[in-house]
Copies of this chain bind each other. A is one copy, B any other.
């Protein structure tokens, strides 16, 4: 077996170790059997953030069930950037897209937040979590982002962990251009690291299609952990702003200097 050719990756919450047997749920068993048409003896990869990625052999497979025998590790667990995406929910196709893209771009937590002008009242958290899991399986991440229940903007900021920086994507008014803000944050993080300190984790906040209300912006700008940034002269849709800001954050402050694991590739 050419290990590098095993391209089916499944995120599992089970502890992974050589010789362990794990069972798959109905949906994934069906996927392996009826969509991928795999059978007994075929290999897949299973992974989670705690135990890394392991090769596993299909030991048994029937209608709606599948058992896997974990064989050996092919990637060790490794730390991942701690950056949250906090976003006002948007309509279905766009929120699906947002969940997929911020997962690919290495977001750790998806936190929907309800603002004054948020037009979408219901968020299907399970659906978002399924999108995030699928994107994580595709993009060779070891973790799957946590998708949280929606909260109001005021509740979010009231309970905000003080050490976590919040990059506020502000479409109107004056704000530091994102490249400048990230460069300054990098300088501060390197200075902190030099003196053995941690400059703290981050989150990115984007508003609804109509933008934040002025009173919301005023309140956000009072908070010591908020850095307002501008994303250029065009008005970005909410999903575009979240993806663009996270891409810039990863490039400068995140793991943009790292490379994909050897042998990893996207299916054609």
Contacts and interface: CB of A to CB of B under 8 A. Distances in A.
* A101, A255, A258, A261, most chain B CB atoms within 10 A: A101
Interface stretch (A50-58, A60-68, A241-249): A241-249
Given A256-B178, A268-B119, A105 B250 contact: no
Nearest to A180: B257
Query: Which secondary structure dominates where chain A touches chain B?
Result: loop
Given A105-B240, A247-B244, A254 B232 contact: yes
A221 interface: no
A115 B177 CA distance: 36
A251 interface: yes
A89 interface: no
Q: Which size class do A's interface residues fall under?
A: 35 or more
A237 B119 contact: no
A20 B101 CA distance: 44
20 contacts: A100-B237, A104-B234, A104-B237, A105-B236, A105-B244, A106-B232, A140-B234, A171-B266, A174-B259, A177-B251, A182-B251, A209-B266, A210-B266, A231-B247, A232-B256, A232-B258, A235-B265, A244-B247, A244-B250, A248-B251
Interface of A: 97, 100-101, 104-106, 117, 119, 138-141, 171-172, 174-175, 177-180, 182, 208-211, 230-237, 240, 243-245, 247-248, 250-252, 254-261, 264-268
